[in-house]
Amino acid sequence: MKSLLNELEINSKDLDIYLIMGFTPLLLSVYYYFGYGSFLKANIPFFTENYYGDVYAYITQFAVFFVLMLVIPAIYLKFKMHGNFADYGLGAGNVKSGLKLLAICIPIILAVLYFGTDAPDVKSEYPLAKSLHQHREMIIWYHLAYVALYYVAWEFFFRGFLLFGLKDKFGVFNAILIQTVSSCLIHLGKPAGETIGAIFVGILFGIFAYRTRSIWYVFILHIIMGLSTDLYIIFIHGAK
């Protein structure tokens, strides 16, 4: 057994790295199969019988994602790895670089998505809760949950926990690629342009997060992408 471990180059000092790498596909698989709003609506009567059930199903999806991709990793990081959250991108980082990044990227994102969200496949995908077209009074609550649960957890896990947690072992760019591959898996089944674009955006956002030493600037860019997609479709382009 010892010779096998040596041959596989397994080092007991890297146990945290192995667990991070191993639990990433497990957590993502649990989320994919049991956390999506479509699964919840198909298996829990509350979401099909309630007037706002469609919206509640996707808010619950965001909450599941928050538990799997933020609460569980954060507990492990704090109590097992004894890590400092600031070292994983949760601090303010390089504020000057971050603000410059936002000033450049936000107008580009808003312009590109204005035209991109008029595509039929995008309008058929978003918003996830299709009843928002009729129940616009729920838009603010839906998007508050989207931001506070889904996007916070997303950036903490991929651009924080994975990127900063793996960079010392694998190198910065390799860690950026690892978090890009992992995050891209969630886009499978989405419109082709979004899935392919997630590869390039994942790499860019990884570089931005490392350059600014913070997840919060890419977090702002990410929520602008997500919210503007929904709002353009609901208020400007209309449903499919």
Q: CA-CA distance, 217 to 194, in Å (whole number)?
A: 21
Assess contact for 210 and 155: CB atoms under 8 A: no
Tokens of 52: 């706002």
Mean pLDDT of the region 72-93: 95
Q: Which of 81-85, 141-145, 182-186 has the highest average model confidence (pLDDT)? A: 141-145
pLDDT digits (tens, 9 = 90+) for 147-179: 999 999 999 999 999 999 999 999 999 999 999
pLDDT of residue 8: 58
pLDDT digits (tens, 9 = 90+) for 108-151: 999 999 999 999 999 999 999 999 999 999 999 999 999 999 99
What is the pTM for the complete model shown? 0.94
Residue 198's nearest CA partner among 164, 233, 220, 222 is: 222
- % of the chain at pLDDT higher than 70: 95
74 CB-near residues (< 8 Å, 6+ apart): 85, 156
Burial 22-38 (b: 16+ CB within 10 A, else e): eebeebbeebeeebbbe
Q: What is the mean pLDDT of the chain?
A: 94
Q: Where are the domains positioned within the chain?
A: 2-237
pLDDT of residue 239: 59
Tokens of 187: 């886009």
